[in-house]
Amino acid sequence: MRILFIGDVVGRSGRTIVSERLPGLVRDWKLDLVLLNGENAAGGFGITEAIFNEFLDAGADAVTLGNHAWDQREALVFIERAPRLVRPINFPKGAPGRGAAMVEARNGAQVLVINAMARIFMDPLDDPFAIIDRELTACALKSGADAIVIDFHGEATSEKQAMGHFVDGRASLVVGTHTHAPTADHQILPGGTGFISDLGMTGDYNSVIGMVKDEPLSRFLRKIPSERFEAAGGPATLCGVAVETDDRTGLTVKIAGVRLGVRLEESVPKFWT
């Protein structure tokens, strides 16, 4: 199965490149499953129902979230009627929506998509390791799902790498999101799980993690906020990871970083081109 996971889409710039490029990637790379992180899609803060549907129309099969899940208040309501919008599974009991979703890929495979939030330098949520272990026990790879993909949303690369090793052999793919800087450590772990510490951002890289530079710089220099953060609106780069899994085992057999755009060096999966 061919999977593309797109990193945190930031603002209109990020949404535009997804709408422009994703339909062609689905066609040219013969993708079976497309996932993306959309928690920064609405001006850099949260997601709206219209934007969520825009991603589905472009070819996304599910959208994951993170610590900005509820920045747009409407998300608290529409997530209940959006089964393919997945928020962190370790949010407190009673949070709307779901932290895991079974998604049907284009080839008919059943894929379990799990979103969890890390805890180092993040909000002190429930233990993501214990909760994900519970999910993988309840729905094991191959017996419960043809593939399992985990978006682990967090700051610390150590915590994200630890999660990769924790589920190695039990999940098809573990991706880190949140830091908006693509890492070069995409690999297949010893047990067969594909892994990358951070997918990077899909947005304008002439920025500070997707925001117009002036206000972040001012806050670092003066320690005084003067304006709201605003998503940068220049030409975007689409970042993510491409994975091919073994239909027999559900584990990863090929993995490559993806960078398509104007500022970062382009990278495409040679095994599909």
Q: Phi, psi (5° rounding) for residue 229?
A: -65, 145
How many Cα atoms are found within 13 Å in the side-chain-facing hemisphere of 91? Answer: 21
- Count the neighbouring beta carbons within 10 Å of the beta carbon of residue 140: 14
Task: Say which residue the tokens 């780069």 belong to.
Answer: 237
Of 68, 153, 180, 186, the active-site residue reads 68
Angle between helices 157-166 and 128-138 (to 10 degrees): 30
| Ranges of H-type helices in the chain | 11-28, 49-58, 75-78, 128-138, 157-166, 214-222
Helices and strands in the chain: count of H runs, count of E runs: 6, 14
The SS3 assignment for 188 reads strand
Is 165 tagged catalytic?
no
The SS3 assignment for 255 reads strand
How deeply is 88 buried, as exposed, middle or buried, from its count of CB atoms within 10 A (0-12, 13-18, 19+)?
A: buried
The b-or-e profile of 12-31 (16+ CB within 10 A means b, else e) is bbbbbbbeebbeebbeebeb
Residues acting as catalytic residues: 68
